[in-house]
Amino acid sequence: MEFPWIYQLMGNLLWSECISNSLILINYIVGLWAKHIQKTSSSSSIPVAKHQANNYQVAV
């Protein structure tokens, strides 16, 4: 006599664990991506601001 509900329960547990793990992974990747964007945007905006200030001084 087999118990199909045990396999169904195990399948549901594995499925929910898979979903939660993938959500954790997605959150981790999005967090890393956001940090990377912050680093690149802040480092690239500093030379632009300096360049604009230099142009302003030259114009004055």
Nearest 5°: the CA angle 48, 39, 42 is: 25
In this prediction the pTM is 0.46
Q: What is the pLDDT of residue 28?
A: 94
Per-residue confidence in pLDDT tens, the chain, 60 aa: 567 888 888 888 888 888 899 999 999 999 999 888 888 776 555 555 555 656 655 554
Q: What is the pLDDT of residue 30?
A: 93
Q: Three-state DSSP class for 2?
A: coil
Q: What is the pLDDT of residue 49?
A: 55
